[in-house]
Amino acid sequence: MQSTAISFSPSISLPHPKKPTILSPSLKIDRFASPNDVFGSSTKRRLYLPVCCLSSSSSSNSSRLNGWISAPAPGPERESDGGFEVRATAVPESEDGAAAAKAKLKDTLVLGSLFGMWYLFNIYFNIYNKQVLKVFPYPVTVTGIQFAVGTVFVVLMWTLNLIKRPKISGGQLLAILPLAVVHTLGNLFTNMSLGKVAVSFTHTIKAMEPFFSVILSAMFLGEIPSLWVVASLVPIVGGVGLASLTEASFNWAGFWSAMASNLTNQSRNVLSKKFMVKKEESLDNIALFSVITIMSFFLLAPVAIFMEGVKFTPTYLQSAGLNVRQVYIRSLIAALCFHAYQQVSYMILQRVSPVTHSVGNCVKRVVVIVTSVLFFRTPVSPINSMGTGVALAGVFLYSRVKRIKPKTA
What's the CA dihedral at 127, 130, 136, 138 to 10 degrees?
130
Looking at residue 163, its pLDDT comes to 84
pTM more than 0.75: no
Residue 110: which residues within 8 A CB-CB, separation 6 or more?
none
Give the confidence band of 43 by pLDDT, cuts at 50, 70, 90. very low
Pairing mode, if any, of strands 21-23 and 46-50? unpaired
How far lies 139's CA from each of 15, 177, 192, in Å?
A: 98, 22, 6
Looking at residue 405, its pLDDT comes to 64
333/329 Cα distance (integer angstroms): 6
CB 146 within 8 Å of CB 187 = yes
pLDDT exceeds 90 at position 281: no
Is residue 178 classed exposed, middle or buried when 0-12, 13-18 and 19+ CB atoms within 10 A define those classes?
Answer: middle
How far lies 151's CA from each of 87, 158, 174, 187, 296, in Å?
A: 69, 11, 19, 15, 9
Looking at residue 159, its pLDDT comes to 92
pLDDT exceeds 90 at position 57: no
Residue 70's SS3 state is strand
DSSP 221: I
Helices (H), 87-165: 96-135, 139-159
Give the confidence band of 25 by pLDDT, cuts at 50, 70, 90. very low
pLDDT exceeds 60 at position 97: yes
Looking at residue 302, its pLDDT comes to 95
pLDDT exceeds 50 at position 280: no
Helices 382-401 and 227-245: angle between axes, nearest 10 degrees: 160
Residue 239's SS3 state is helix
pLDDT exceeds 70 at position 39: no
Least confident of 134-148, 259-273, 297-311: 259-273
DSSP 217: I
HSE-up (13 A, CA, CB side) for residue 289: 19
Give the confidence band of 273 by pLDDT, cuts at 50, 70, 90. low
Residue 43's SS3 state is coil
Query: Three-state SS across 97-119?
Result: HHHHHHHHHHHHHHHHHHHHHHH
**Mean pLDDT value across the chain:** 79
Residues 106-158 pLDDT 10s: 888 988 999 999 999 999 999 999 999 999 999 999 999 999 999 999 999 99
Q: Is 35 left (phi over 0), alpha (psi -120 to 50) or beta?
A: alpha
CA end-to-end span of the chain, whole Å?
47
Residues 219-257 pLDDT 10s: 887 888 889 989 999 999 999 999 988 888 899 999 999
Looking at residue 204, its pLDDT comes to 92
Residue 294's closest CA among 126, 125, 132, 173?
173
CB 22 within 8 Å of CB 13 = yes
Residues 367-378 pLDDT 10s: 999 999 999 999
Give the confidence band of 95 by pLDDT, cuts at 50, 70, 90. low
